[in-house]
Amino acid sequence: MRRCAAVLLILVLVLPSSVLAADEATLAGYSPRSSQTEREWEVKFRAIPDPANLREDMQRLSARPHHVGSAYDKDNAEWILARFREWGLDAHIETFNVLFPTPKLRVLEMVEPTKFTAKLEEPALAVDPTSNQKAEQLPTYNAYSIDGDVTAPLVFVNYGVPEDYEKLDRLGISVKGAIVIAKYYHSWRGVKPKVAAEHGAIGCLIYSEPQDDGYTRDVVFPQGPMRNPDGVQRGSVMDFASASPGDPLTPGVGATADAKRLSLKEAKSLSKIPVLPISYGDAQPLLAALKGQMAPDEWRGTLPIPYHVGPGPAKVHLKLEFNWDIKPVNDVIAKIPGSVAPDEWIIRGNHHDAWVNGAEDPVSGTSPLLEEARALGILLKQGWKPRRTIIYAAWDGEEPMLLGSTEWVETHAEELRQHAAVYINTDGNDRGLFEMAGSHSLEQFINGVARDIEDPETKMTVWQRSHLSQIANAKADDRKELRQRADLRIDALGSGTDFTGFLDHLGIASLNLGYGGEDEQGIYHSIYDDFYWYTHFSDTDFVYGRALSQTIGTSVMRLADAEVLPYDFVDFADTVQKYTKDLQKLLADKQEEIRERNQELDEGVFKATFDPRRPTVAPAHEEVPPHLNFAPMENAAEMLTRSAAHYQKALLQKQTGLSEIQAETLRVLNAKLIDSERKLTSGDGLPRRPWYKHLLYAPGVYSGYGVKTVPGVREGIEQKRYSEAEQEILRVAKALEQESELVDSAAQLLEKGGN
């Protein structure tokens, strides 16, 4: 379901193609000999994925709607299972039973000052052959909205994020007892009804603004890739970030047949108010009927109307009823047993369920996963024997909120804590740059893989292309770092797709990878995300699908075969240092902002700028945030930096002798390395959300998919809980100290081991 604000980075540079000759340096964690053998297998692997198969698999998997509980969802799971088995993998389907609401009744009408009934319907289009599968399509809705029947004045709230409500306060406008209408994007959608409810709203509409993914950006579907006036973005509004993702009735445990279930009333992650997504065709008459103050400049979209905030005189009636059914989700799991270290697991997943036909989301990621599995099957027949166990997973129920992966993680938590080394996730895939995000102990590793993959368009390596395009778009200060630092920085992970349970709940080092950025799209979660759209407007010849297969398959093999798991702590420690400085700056900026505003209040700035025809309300005087003691975290980061250098040196010195290290020593060493991400978790979890155990990465309570790094401290500062932030600094510092001790002990083991 991943979709962040698309940023277009296009550059065409011509470099000699000889730069592609893979950097033949010994791979990290490998002895020179095993490194060479590994590279030979990887070259064989990368020759196998075939765009023709990717196209065929996409056509098959997206031929009919395949949401949770649908006939074709099950059919796809069984088809994937048959493919895994055909390729010689040991595979099975694991089924969970989860709460999955579907619409029973949806009414949206304007009752004042004029009558208007919203269409709530995406029409079939003659040129698009799967758009007419009406009987199987889920209606447009937000899953896990509660039932409701409300009538109230309408208020336009921009993107509906907390800052928008601060602005409404300045305008003297309250949403208490109102129904709000918010634009999609700029936060995860579930944040909008959550914040609206916190401010007293009783209903929420979310519409797709043409400025964000409609006609303002390019021609609309079916002539172009963008959202047409009837297109609607379905999607989950489960409050996963405050509670937990997965089945709302079985938080923290697997939704197996005999699991103890909460009643619907006890479920914590449902929305607090009814919420419905609509098209801009349906939104325009409602917005046009609003009066009151003009919306601030930056709130206005590009519909041909004046954007007023309200409240009213537009008054709307919203009535929603859902079937609160328990439905099966079918995860397809395939296993390749490890030949030397079967108890160390490399796990790779992508979901297979969609909101409707889902060619882009998720099938453009699912098909490459299948091509990898097919290719690995071929290598196994040729005699390749992975050292570690490899698990391939096609998850079900990702769209409603990571149901299949979360339930699997919760069911197998104990064995995963013991055995899982790395989880690699992908979701929809498009044309463009290689996008890397994940645990920073894997930053160096994934940079290395990116140096060995050819970009289909420029024929440079995908690493070079990313590097150069980052230089092209960087500020002067950052350009210097980009040219000097060996590795590109990878993004931290928030949420939005299936890595969440692995990373945030269990502390398994994770990566989320994909290609994208070159094509605009406005079909996300609509009936028009289908084979016709993808083969006209995205990776039409499937060469980026092939690049994804090559990239992820290479990553899986390289992780599975290394004598020593290729974690690196130098980049990681550098990132921790950076986060520590970022947090200090966040606090300093906040102090400065409040100090300045207080001064302006004293000076009478708000009186001077008051316009009686457009009245505003001055903000209140606020106490300047206190000083926080970051020293424990700074010291721990320093300590980690030294340990990381120690480990790097020990590994490099031992490289030629890696193959002589005793098997038992390697086992102990790798177990320590696997534990390195677990050390960053706390059994108690984050404040008020104990399911989230990772102290460095979490989705934001008010950003949703967007990451909050060092979340306890950061959200403490952002949400003005300063003493909590100070406590969290101590907790993070302690974890970093323990991490540092672990890394030192791994270095010592290498120094002693083998001779």
Contact residues: Zn ion, CB under 5 A: 1, 361-362, 427
Compute the least distance from the CB of residue 95 to Zn ion, in Å. 20
* Residue labelled with tokens 């379905």: 234
User: What does the alpha-carbon distance between residue 516 and residue 547 come to, in Å, rounded to a whole number?
Assistant: 12
CA 301 to chain centre: 26
User: What does the alpha-carbon distance between residue 640 and residue 431 come to, in Å, rounded to a whole number?
Assistant: 38
- For the chain, the farthest-separated pair of C-alpha atoms sits apart, in whole angstroms, at 86
Specify the residue, 361 or 487, whose C-beta has the smaller distance to Zn ion. 361
DSSP structure string for 480-539? HHHHH-SSPPPBPP--SSTTHIIIIIT--EEEEEEEEESS----TTSTT-SHHHHHHHSS
Reported residue count of the chain is 755
User: What does the alpha-carbon distance between residue 66 and residue 362 come to, in Å, rounded to a whole number?
Assistant: 11
User: What does the alpha-carbon distance between residue 378 and residue 46 come to, in Å, rounded to a whole number?
Assistant: 12
Compute the least distance from the CB of residue 399 to Zn ion, in Å. 6
Compute the least distance from the CB of residue 398 to Zn ion, in Å. 6
Specify the residue, 344 or 372, whose C-beta has the smaller distance to Zn ion. 372
Specify the residue, 370 or 743, whose C-beta has the smaller distance to Zn ion. 370
Compute the least distance from the CB of residue 354 to Zn ion, in Å. 8
Specify the residue, 427 or 454, whose C-beta has the smaller distance to Zn ion. 427
Specify the residue, 362 or 516, whose C-beta has the smaller distance to Zn ion. 362
Rounded CA Rg of the chain:
26
| Contact criterion met (CB below 8 Å) for 240 and 495 | yes
Compute the least distance from the CB of residue 2 to Zn ion, in Å. 6
Compute the least distance from the CB of residue 358 to Zn ion, in Å. 8
**Please, how many CA atoms are within 13 Å of residue 442, restricted to the half-sphere of its CB?**
28
Specify the residue, 429 or 549, whose C-beta has the smaller distance to Zn ion. 429
Specify the residue, 362 or 386, whose C-beta has the smaller distance to Zn ion. 362
Compute the least distance from the CB of residue 526 to Zn ion, in Å. 14
Specify the residue, 427 or 563, whose C-beta has the smaller distance to Zn ion. 427
Q: What is the DSSP code (8-state) at residue 199?
A: T
Compute the least distance from the CB of residue 705 to Zn ion, in Å. 11
DSSP structure string for 52-67? HHHHHHHHHHTSS---
Helix (H, G, I), strand (E, B) or coil at 617: coil
CB-based burial label for 31 (10 Å; 0-12, 13-18, 19+):
buried
Specify the residue, 429 or 550, whose C-beta has the smaller distance to Zn ion. 429
Specify the residue, 185 or 630, whose C-beta has the smaller distance to Zn ion. 185
Specify the residue, 39 or 234, whose C-beta has the smaller distance to Zn ion. 234
Helix (H, G, I), strand (E, B) or coil at 322: strand
Specify the residue, 6 or 474, whose C-beta has the smaller distance to Zn ion. 6
DSSP structure string for 136-163? GSPPS-EETPPPEEEEEEEEE-TT--HH
Compute the least distance from the CB of residue 242 to Zn ion, in Å. 22
**Pure H helices in 604-721:** 605-608, 631-654, 663-678, 711-718
Compute the least distance from the CB of residue 587 to Zn ion, in Å. 36
Q: For residue 636, what are its two tokens?
A: 């721990």
| Contact criterion met (CB below 8 Å) for 66 and 535 | no
Compute the least distance from the CB of residue 347 to Zn ion, in Å. 18
Compute the least distance from the CB of residue 62 to Zn ion, in Å. 13
Closest CA to 96 of 329, 261, 324: 329
- Give all strands (DSSP E) within 68-141, no chain letters: 90-112, 116-117
